[in-house]
Amino acid sequence: MGWKWWCIILVLLLLAPFIASSRSIIKNLPGFPGDLPFKLESGYIGVGEEEEVQLFYLFVESQRNPSNDPILLWFVGGPGCSALSAFFLENGPVIFDCNSRGILPKLVLNPYAWTQVLNVIYIDLPVGTGFSYSQTQQGYHSGDILWIENSYDFLQKWFIDYPEFGSNLLYIGGGSYSALPTVPLVKKVYEGYKAGSKPFINFKGFVLASPLTDQFLDLNSKVEYAHRLSLISDELYEVTSIPFFYSCIHLKLIRIFLS
């Protein structure tokens, strides 16, 4: 396990006292000097018939003009990767200082943070991911259909809890595997928007980052990629074009030639 993952585990443990309540304002983070120069909230929103599923989220207000800037609901891939991975390692407001020395890694502002111009909601989904949990065993049963239903339920309740953002434009985005359920979720939100569902969600569009579209085609494309980079020979590449081998050889090739 690399040092970055140990840093994430450490931050998760240190953040636990701040996220115990249903909605909290986080003013500082371990490893960051002084108060945070942006508004950060964490909380839970219950979904399901009896709200037995509690979905954890982080909400970062835009550092430019939160009352007018768009909102981005961001899903992380996996499935099963915590929203904190995007918060600390991708498009969030802070990142780890790679030059840190000592036990506790330092946090610095991310110069490329999307939160400079967007209000961003990071959510742990599906249930069981990160800090999201279920009060019943059945609540942990998951799949893309439940993912979509829980996401839509979450979104509606979030806007009820944050009425001051009701007129902001909303974008929905996801990377990797989360792109698969994100698209039908977008359709569901758009249909609600056209039908005038309440609460009003001012839906504008969506974004997909390195999306998984079709597992068979996406993974096998790496064989073509390896051949074009001369990582595998013409002879071996021709073998992969045989239907039987094409359907089963890509994982071994990826493991051997791209590891």
pLDDT higher for 92 or 222? 92
Q: What is the pLDDT of residues 133-190, one digit of tens each?
A: 999 998 888 888 999 999 999 999 999 999 999 999 999 998 888 788 889 999 999 9
Biggest CA-to-CA distance, the chain: 62
Q: What is the pTM of this model?
A: 0.79
Contact 107, 15 (CB under 8 A): no
pLDDT for 189 equals 95
Amino acid, res. 157: K
Q: Taking phi first (over 0 means left), then psi (-120 to 50 degrees means alpha), and beta for anything else, what does residue 193 get? A: alpha
Element (H, E) at 198: none
**β 170-176/203-211 pair status:** parallel
Say what the pLDDT of residue 99 is.
81
Q: Which residue has the tokens 């490329």?
A: 112
Supply the mean pLDDT for the chain: 84
CA distance to 143, 166, 213, per residue, from 35 (Å) = 39, 28, 41
pLDDT at 246 over 70: no
**Residue that is written with structure tokens 């791209």 in the block:** 258
